[in-house]
Chain A
Amino acid sequence: MKGIDIRIGEIASPLGRVRDLRVGIGRIGSGTWEEPAGPTPYPSMTALRDWDRRLLGRYRPFYMPLCDLCCLCTYGKCDLSGGKRGACGITLAAQQSRVVLLAACIGAATHTSHARELVEYLVERNGRTFPLDPGGLQVDLHMPHVELVCGERPETLADLETILDYCNAQLIDLLAATHTGQEGDPIDFESKVLHAGMIDHVSMEVADVAQISAFDFPKADQGALLVPLGLGTVDTERPVILVIGHNVPPAAAILDYLADHGLEGTVEVTGICCTAIDMTRRSPSAKIIGPISWQLRYIRSGIPDLVVVDEQCVRTDLLDEAARLGIPVIATSEKNCLGLADRTDELSDALIEDLVSGRVPGVLILDPEKVGEVAVRVAVRRRPERAVPPVADVIALAAACGACGACKGACPSEKDLVGGMQAARSGDTSVLARMLRSCVGCGRCEDACPQGIEVHRLMVASCDECERFAIRTGRGPVQDIEIREIGGPIVLGEIPGVVAFVGCANYLEGGSEVAEMVTEFAKRRFVVCTSGCSAMAVAMHRDEEGLTPYERFSGRFEAGGVVNVGSCVANSHISGAAIKIASIFAKRSLSGNYAEVADYVYNRVGAVGVAWGAMSQKAAAIAAGFWRLGIPVVVGPHGAKYRRMLLGRSDVDEDWMVRDRRSGEEVYVGPVPEHLFIAAETKEEAMAIIAKLAMRPNDTSRGRSIKLSHYIDLYDRCYGRMPDDLHRFVRTKADLPLMQKEELLKVLEARGWVERAIPDPTLLPEEALR
């Protein structure tokens, strides 16, 4: 029996009077937590609909369909263009929001499943009563999302099962809403998108807190180690294991096997994507090769002796790629079996012989400890050396290019691959080599080539760069003390904002743009956070002194710090930091009190998410979780393919009215933040947008003047002039940056600007606030 929760405010009985009695079955007992229960513990998908509609009334969806049709039922295909409705009555707008919801559900389900797999494994490995400890003595507020959403304070690994039960149930309900003949209103779909996002952040938090606690990852560690990253870090004289994916138990078991058998330092354990980051949180001897875009490149380098894959963002043709070089593969996840035979229950010796001899291209092993043993014992029996084509072969192979341009048309980065091939055939392979630096590694150029030229392979062969970089490994949550120190300056605006660079590696112009933006905002004394593939992209860039941003800036959550929180699931600590500000600095009650806390974050915490290379459905869900908390997200140009933006209209004054809690009146606060979700075209444009989106209604004049100075400067750098919308962000003369005051006043006067009061802003009605 689960899900029973009886609360009695006060009851008189023959035995006496009882107050605040609560009886729960299938709930978590939190003996020491004294927060009063809020209005929406374990919210259903409509419990926060009113809050969502307040946000979505201001940030209206702008739909950009990737397809005019609906193909989801046998009535169809239905043409929804030109105002036509589908056979079920659905409009194009509703269909787009429905697909966005599907994407968000896929993303949130992926993190929830990931968390479930981790928790089940760790419960078996460490015991049900193993205590949760994501931050040691530095963190009392362990799980801000769980507390805010569920009204629970989990204490053990087993407690997390209850949280995941809730997430599972919500995702099933959300998915059901996408069935034919359910929702038809786009805003109701969008509200459910936000719900999926909120669930996603809860699941991510569960996953990361579980693995931090049980694997002894850095616990809110400001001094998390600098660890090696890049192809140049690999000692190719040693056996090399490559691990790809997001779910760390198999990789951790490899590291444990090496340690337990005295083999540390004899085998290179290298990784791509988030498992790589999490391996380095487990052991600094592990090495990160790079983000997901490096899969083809690294495998085709011929360096790995064995590939181990877990789940998420793994190339689905990986088995074929590895087989071409005779690299055996071990699949380890029920969600990514690669068509391989499940040999979990067989003796390790048999598996090893089959893999080493090449009798099978790979095996499926659903037992992390067995993976650890088999992987190491296979890798040490090194496969015969294989290599990519030498440069001379590149020139010969490029000669077959007919310059038809099919490769260029297939390239998402619009690279002039024809030019590169033409240069190569004349003996200059440097053009192809340069292109590889910003290549997303999709390999579509090869499938498109009518001559069958392996364009990407030639790029890999042309490039002999073998650099080593340093990345600060994922530190986990933000400390409570850090929130106490800078929560005030953030809320007051004196720290100009928190900018989080998250997401995948689908860049139009390469990952160096992320590093440049991180450096720019750290220099401007924003608090900068990174995670996942973005965290890796940041590390692969050096300044003029040869330092990566992690070497140049501190790892503290402070003005000018660059904080790598960890893998994808650690994104929850970034949004969690905003919740912590509401709790620790502003003393807002968290327990089941989502709308009030989101209203606080939205109006007061100048946080902005940036997913410059966002590609996946997980990234969509992560963004949605930020949106529901009122945190805007900027994506790169490919992000427009998420098919809708959530945009404010700065020129419509009535959209920017809030209730002043002091006076109860509706007052104009200006378009802050102007958008909830927007794709930027270039990094220069993105930086101007980020600086603008960091403004909040509650900024003090001193804070607003600091934020305005950054906005004006970055706007000028991008557009070469004063912001067209400057007057909308200046409330009083005291908001103006001192050094530019006279100049700006003239601009404002010319635009008919008048001073206005700074309210105590809220989007919520009085009765919603406790």
Chain B
Amino acid sequence: MKRGTPVKIDKRDKLILEMKTITKEYSLTLDKDLCCGCEICTIICPKEALSLIDAQIENGSLIEKPKIDADPDKCIYCGECVILCPYNAFKLKVNGKETIPSVDLEAFPTLIREIEVDVKKCIPDCKLACQEGCPFEAIEVIYEKEIEVSKKEKKAEGSEKERKLAKSQEKKKKIEKIKKIIDVKIDKEKCTYCSKCVYDCPYNAIKVTKPIEGKISINYELMPKRFKAAADVCPTKAITYDEKKDKLKLEDKWCLFCGACRLVSPENAIILERTRILHEYIESGAWNKALEKLISPEELAKELRIKAENKIRYWILESRVP
């Protein structure tokens, strides 16, 4: 094994690809807990270094989610998977620092993903719906507490043990009450911009820009009975399973169009189509290719046309002839 030969380290919770030379070190880490086994990285990988291991499904429920495997000899640490992973499962480090060279050198765009919380609109009686509802535990609401202590107090009697027990019960009777919401903190490392919080919030205080837009529907005729794997695999809980009615329920408002559910379901049972990806303006062949593979050649053509129009407009405005 010559120096610089890339290696794969497969740990229980992490898959690491490493390329170490004396002056430079690259490492790509896949967090297996965050990864739901959607197909996006395997689709866009320009060197086909990432591949998918099928999920295990037994009696309609998910035993093991689909997994991503990586080929260390093919990976070139371009970081496209890091940018496009909807669940932030990939991390690329160069010499120990988290960067993506292809973004720094403008060879690949970053996605436009925004989340904004208007704290002024927050009203304390929401019961912290956004924090409670977030599937990724990315929201932390900071608030002022008001503690109400219920006044019924039993007098401690009997032995010391009993008295202690009574005291601990006393504590439970204290009820926290939210007096004022100071701030809503969002952990951008964890947030996937699925916009579930937008719909959870009763006061329209949150605005989210989803990076990937699309359409999704379930063909119930093709879905087998008591099939809940699609719901099990969905990290945003856009698909849920109703035990009583034996039916999958789809809520496309907070679907990220990753396609994990389509992978575990029977063919054509889930119809998914990605229509748009919001990204920074960039001119890059690598991006064009990724776009073509991820959405469609038509969408790529559309984007190229817009870019060309923009260019012409720019030339006219600047009265420059190429």
Partners in one complex: no
Q: Give the A-binding residues of B (Cβ under 8 A).
A: none
